[in-house]
Amino acid sequence: MPDPTPRIRVLIVDDEPPARRRIRYLLKSDPRIDIAGEAGNGPDAVEAILDRKPDLVFLDVQMPEMDGFEVIRAVGPERMPAVIFVTAYNQYAVRAFEVHAQDYLLKPYDEDRFREALNHAVQRIRAARSPGQSGRNIEILLRDFGKAAAFPERFLVKSGEKLVLVKAADIRRIEAADKYVILHGESVRHIVRDGLASMEMKLDPRKFLRVHRSHLVNIDAIREVQPLFHGEAVLILKNGDRVPLSRTHREKFEAAFIR
């Protein structure tokens, strides 16, 4: 008789393709599991979590541009599924337990250790399947590692041969451009060698929101929201700039205005 218990949807996140293939291989024969997809970097992981809503994420800790802990912070406690951290460094295993992950896998791990971590996670997920249950654990992460974080009010950015002091409050929006970001002010813009995810971590999330995989916006600069099709929208800023609001970020964007 088939098992009536809903299967566990799993997302695999690792910047190394062989590591993703190994996890997929170990999962594919497990009848309890549906593989919801893969992501090779932090920003894609955030988008996949918000869009596909997996129950469990195998999450690499060290990734370029945005590490596993930054992924959790970007998604937020109310949306973050259960996590099994995957790392080659033992010090991260300790931190994984500090942030209340379901478990961790220390590379290189064998199949028995993988099954042990997976079984532990599946049992915990099935025992607490209600929405937001895993988010309560992740909420402790944000309390322990993010609540007391100080967000800079000013940035030093290079402009030609000079260093210019830019107030965070004067930044209207930030746009990703390959290995750079463009800081758009009221009448000036600055190009900075940094990643969008890195900039997002430096800015106060109560004031700056990720609205698209390539855009951050200062909420005080927004004039109106124009809905489009299929959940997409466009933000019209007070200076007339138009910024896309993607479907995967819209719910979190709207929740930021509910108090």
| Residue labelled with tokens 């309390």 | 143
pLDDT of 196 > 50? The answer is yes
Contact 182, 174 (CB under 8 A): yes
Higher per-residue confidence, 197 vs 141 = 197
Report d(CA 82, CA 106) in Å as an integer: 17
Q: How confident is the model at residue 148 (pLDDT cuts 50, 70, 90)?
A: very low
pTM of the predicted model as reported, rounded to 2 decimal places? 0.54
Name the architecture of domain 154-255. Beta Barrel (2.40)
pLDDT digits 0-9 by tens, 9-20 = 999 999 999 999
Distance CA 85, CA 93 (A): 8
Does pLDDT of 259 surpass 60?
Answer: no
State the chain's mean pLDDT as an integer.
Answer: 82
Instruction: Flag whether pLDDT at 149 surpasses 50.
Output: no
Q: What is the pLDDT of residues 22-54, one digit of tens each?
A: 999 999 989 999 999 999 998 899 999 999 999
Comparing 42-46, 94-98, 112-116, 174-178, the range with the smallest average pLDDT is 94-98
Of 244 and 103, the structure prediction assigns the larger pLDDT to 244
Mean pLDDT comparison of 16-20, 178-182, 245-249, highest-scoring range:
16-20
Confidence of residue 155 (pLDDT cuts 50, 70, 90): confident
8-145 homologous superfamily = Response regulator (3.40.50.2300)
> What pLDDT score was predicted for residue 194?
80
Residue ranges per domain, the chain?
8-145, 154-255
